[in-house]
Amino acid sequence: MKIPTLEIPENISDLAREDVVELQNKITGFKTGAIPEERFKAFRLTRGVYGQRQLGVQMFRIKIPYGKLTARQLTKIAEVSEEYTNGNLHTTTRQNVQLHYVHLEDTPEMWAKLEAVGITTREACGNTVRNITASPLAGIDPEEPFDVAPYAEAVFQYFLRNPVCQDMGRKIKMAFSSSEKDSAYTYFHDFGFIPVVKTEHGKEVRGFKTVVGGGLGAQPYIAEVAHTFLPEEQLIPFIEAALRVFDRYGEREKRMKARMKYMLDGKKGLSVAKFRELIDVEYAGLQHQLYVIDREMVAQPAIPAPEPVQDVEILDEAKYKQWVQTNVFAQKQEGFYAVYIKLQLGNISAEKARELAKIIGEGVAADDIRVTINQGLLLKYIRKETLPYLYYRLNHLELAEPGFGTLADITACPGTDTCNLGVTNSTGVAQELEKLVNEEFTELILNSNINIKISGCMNSCGQHMAAEIGFHGSSIKHGVLVVPALQVVLGGGVNSFGKGYIAEKVIKLPTKRIPDAVRFLLHGYEAHSTEGEYFNDYYYRLGKMYFYTLLKPLANLENLQDTEYIDWGHDSAFIPEIGTGECAGVSYDVVGTILVDAEERHYYAVKALEKTRFSDAVYHAYSAFVIGAKAMLLGKDIHCNTHQGIIQDFNDHYHLTGEWKSDISFSDMVLQINKNEPSATFTQTYVQAAGQFLAYIKQKRQEQVVGGEDRLVVQNYYKA
C-alpha cells in the first residue's frame, strides 16, 4: 500500500513533524496488516485517536493545557472541525476539546494543521500524563497567591514525549488550583498542586501544597497531602521521581487496579510516607535535582485598549441582569471583568466558535480564552462599559445564557451518544433536567452551591462523584427485560473552604424517573434546609438513609410504564451495549511482539544518546531491560505484574538458576537508573548494557520457541 501524500505546514517543530509522519506510517502499517489491530490501538491512543461507539469513525482529542486557547487557535479548531468532522467542538471536564466522527486516515493531516497554531494531540489519551488542568481563573483570581499557569505550562512541556510516561500501567491526571478554594478539584487527581507563599528571611518564597493519589471513577479516593510546602524549583523533580516510582511499582496486570490511588492505598499498597521514601531514592538518577521555572513563561495577554463602545439595545433587561450576576465577576486586576460562557453539554458549533474568535479579535476581550472544568469557556479583561456590548454579541450567538456554574448548568459526558463505555444516555437526561430547573425552580437558578453532574457509566467522565447531586449510567433487570437506570449519588464536591467530598451512592432509579427524583430533592431542600444552609450540609445533617427513604418510592418497578424501558434520546427499548474501553493497554500479545517492543525502546535509547538527551536515553534503556525480561518470563508462563516484580522474578528464574550469567544481579544492573546521574559516561554504559541484554534474550528465546511459532501469552490486557 502506498503511503498517501501528507502536506505538513512548514512552521511546525521538528518533533511535531516526526509525530505526524509516524502516525501516518503506523496507519499505513495497520491498514496493510503489518501492525496488529491491538498493537496499533495502543499507539493511536497516545496520539489522541480514540475509538468511538459508531464503527468506522474515531474521536480525536485535542490537548489544551490548563484550557488556554487563543482566538487564532479556536478558529483553526473550528476550521478543522468543519473540514473533517460533524462541525461540532465538544469541551470536556479536563479542559480538552474533542472532535467526533473522524476518519482514521484524516488524523495525521488534522494533527498537522493543529500543530501549525501550537496545538498538540500527543498523549491526550492512553497510559500517559494526560492534559494538565488548572483553575481557569489562574492569573485573574482575586484570591490567588500567584498565577499557576506558568507552572502548569512548564509541567506540560517537560513531560510531553518524556520516556517516563509513554507506557505506564495507567493514565496520570494532574491539576493546579489557583487558591485554597480548590476550583480545579485537585483532591480528585493523581497529583494536585495548590499555590502557597511564605516569607523566609524577609523574602517571598513560592511553593505548592501537593496532594497525591486522588481519583474519581468506580472507587473514588480523596488525595492525601504529600507536602504542605514544596518549593517551586522542586516541583518538576518531585513529579518526575514520583512518576518513576509509579511506573515501577504500579499495578499492570489488573487494569482496574492500575491507577495511582490503588498503589497508594495504605492497606494493600504503599503509604504516602513510603511513597515519599521511594521518591527520595529516585532523585539521584534525575537529570535535574532542582528545576527553575520561568515565571513569565505564560505572559498575561495584551489588555484591550479603551475604545468607544457601540450602543446596543438590550431587549431583555432581566436576563441581562441575571447574566451579569451569574456569568460575570471582577478580576484581581482593578477595572476589569471576566465573563463565563455557558455551553450546554459542552458543545459549540464550528460556526459559533469562529464568530466568538472574531469578537475577541475586535479587542472586546483579551486574546486568552480558557476552557473551564465544567465544559464552559471564560473570557478575560473586559471593561465594565463593554459588558452590554459583549452580552449583545454573545446573545446573538446564543452564548449568553445566565446560570454558569449554578444548578442550571449541568455537566454531562457524551454517554451512549459516542462512548463505547456508555451504559445510558447522559445528554438527553441532562437537557431534561436543565429544562426542569429553568421552568420549575427559578428561585434556585442562581444557586451555585448545588451542581448536577451526569456520567454515562461509573467512570466519572462527567464528574458525578464530585457533585452535590450526581448520576451515573446503570441498568435494572426486571423480569426478562432491562430498564435503563441511573445511580443517584449525593453529597460530593468541594466546599467554600476547599475541602473535597466524595458523593455517596444512595439509590438506583429508572432514568425516566430522574426528573421526579430531582424534584423530590430540591423541594425537600427548599422546605427543610435552614437559612443559608449549603446543600451538602443539609444532606449530611439528615443523612443518607433519609434520602434513600425519600427517593425509594421512585424505585418501585411494579408500576413501570412502557416508556420507561426506553432511555432518554432513544425511540426503542433499552439494550445494554457496553463496548470495550480504550483508556489503557492492548488486549493481545505474543513473546516475539513483546521482544520487538524491547528492541524499539533500545532503538529510542540509542537515538536519544546520539542527540545527547542522556536522561531520555537512560529511561528508554531501562524500559528495554524490563520489557525484555518480561518477554522471557512470559515465555516460561511466569506471572508478570509490576516492573519491580519483573526485575525480581528475572533474578530468581534466570540469574539465580544460572541461565543468565552476570557478575551482578539483574536488579543491581537495571536499578543503576536510580543511583547514577545521567552523565554522558553512565548513559553510554547503561545503553550498551541494555543492548547486550537484548542480544542475550534474542538468542535465549530461540530455545523457548516451539515449532518455530510464537504462542499466545497475554489475553484481555497488556501485562506490565
The pLDDT of 242-256, averaged and rounded, is 92
pLDDT at 266: 79
DSSP codes joined into one string, 492-527: -EE-TTS-EEPPEEEEEEEGGGHHHHHHHHHHHHHH
pLDDT at 459: 86
The enclosing H or E element of 195 equals strand 191-200
Which numeric CATH code is attached to 588-715?
A: 1.20.120.330
**How wide is the angle at C-alpha 198 spanned by C-alphas 196 and 204, nearest 5°?**
110
320/322 Cα distance (integer angstroms): 5
Strands 172-176 and 129-134: parallel
Residue with cell 505550562: 153
Q: Looking at the predicted structure, is the pLDDT value of residue 700 above 90?
A: no
Q: What is the mean pLDDT of the chain?
A: 91
303/477 Cα distance (integer angstroms): 58
Residue 97 one-letter amino acid: V
DSSP codes joined into one string, 534-588: -HHHHHHHH-HHHHHHHHGGGG--TT--GGGGS-TT-SS----------SS--SE
Which numeric CATH code is attached to 140-299?
A: 3.30.413.10
339/330 Cα distance (integer angstroms): 9
Residue 58 CB-density burial (10 A; 0-12 exposed, 13-18 middle, 19+ buried): buried
Look at residues 603, 593, 595 and name the one whose alpha carbon lies nearest to residue 700.
595
Distances 700 to 83, 376, 601, 632 between C-alpha atoms, Å? 52, 56, 19, 8
Strands 336-341 and 58-62: unpaired
618/599 Cα distance (integer angstroms): 14
Look at residues 326, 328, 331, 448 and name the one whose alpha carbon lies nearest to residue 388.
328
Model confidence at 236, in pLDDT bands (50, 70, 90)? very high
User: Are domains 140-299 and 317-396 of this chain identical in fold?
Assistant: no
393/399 Cα distance (integer angstroms): 9
Are 488 and 551 in contact by the 8 Å Cβ rule? The answer is yes
Q: Looking at the predicted structure, is the pLDDT value of residue 666 above 50?
A: yes
pLDDT at 1: 45
Contacts of 63 (CB under 8 A, 6+ apart): 48, 96, 119, 120, 121, 122, 123, 124, 131
The pLDDT of 46-62, averaged and rounded, is 92
Residue range 133-185, pLDDT digits in tens: 999 999 999 999 999 999 999 999 999 999 999 989 999 999 999 999 999 99
Residue 700 CB-density burial (10 A; 0-12 exposed, 13-18 middle, 19+ buried): middle
Report residue 175 as a C-alpha cell: 491539576
221/213 Cα distance (integer angstroms): 7
The pLDDT of 452-468, averaged and rounded, is 92
Domain 317-396 has CATH 3.90.480.10: yes
Residue 511 one-letter amino acid: T
Report residue 308 as a C-alpha cell: 468607544
pLDDT at 359: 96
For the chain, state the CA radius of gyration.
26
Domain ranges of the chain: 1-68+91-127, 140-299, 317-396, 411-565, 588-715
Phi-psi label, residue 426: left if phi above 0, alpha if psi -120 to 50, beta otherwise: alpha
Q: Which residue has the higher pLDDT, 319 or 421?
A: 319
> How many Å is the maximal CA-CA distance in the chain?
87
Q: Looking at the predicted structure, is the pLDDT value of residue 295 above 70?
A: yes
Model confidence at 309, in pLDDT bands (50, 70, 90)? confident
Which numeric CATH code is attached to 411-565?
A: 3.30.413.10
Residue range 594-627, pLDDT digits in tens: 888 899 999 999 999 999 999 999 999 999 999 9
Report residue 708 as a C-alpha cell: 518455530
The pLDDT of 9-21, averaged and rounded, is 93
Quickly count helices (H) and strands (E) in the chain: 20, 24
Model confidence at 578, in pLDDT bands (50, 70, 90)? low
Are 360 and 56 in contact by the 8 Å Cβ rule? The answer is no
Listed range (34-48, 222-236, 698-712) with the worst mean pLDDT: 698-712
Q: Which residue has the higher pLDDT, 569 or 573?
A: 569
Q: What are phi and psi of 636, to 5 degrees?
A: -105, 10
Q: Looking at the predicted structure, is the pLDDT value of residue 712 above 60?
A: no
Residue 476 one-letter amino acid: I
Residue with cell 441582569: 321
pLDDT at 513: 96
Q: Looking at the predicted structure, is the pLDDT value of residue 719 above 60?
A: no
Are 115 and 33 in contact by the 8 Å Cβ rule? The answer is no
Distances 250 to 128, 202, 644, 653 between C-alpha atoms, Å? 13, 42, 9, 22
pLDDT at 720: 39
Residue range 625-654, pLDDT digits in tens: 999 999 889 888 888 889 999 999 999 999
Residue range 333-375, pLDDT digits in tens: 999 999 999 999 999 999 999 999 999 999 999 999 999 999 9
Report residue 660 as a C-alpha cell: 543468565
pLDDT at 708: 55
Residue range 529-543, pLDDT digits in tens: 999 899 999 999 999
Edge-to-edge strand ranges of the sheet holding 328-330: 68-69, 369-371, 377-383, 336-341, 328-330
Q: What pTM, to 2 d.p., does this model score?
A: 0.93
The enclosing H or E element of 260 equals helix 260-263
Contacts of 310 (CB under 8 A, 6+ apart): 389
Q: Looking at the predicted structure, is the pLDDT value of residue 704 above 70?
A: no
The percentage of the chain sitting over the pLDDT mark of 70, rounded to a whole number, equals 95
Look at residues 602, 583, 601, 611 and name the one whose alpha carbon lies nearest to residue 717.
583
Q: How many residues does the chain have?
A: 720
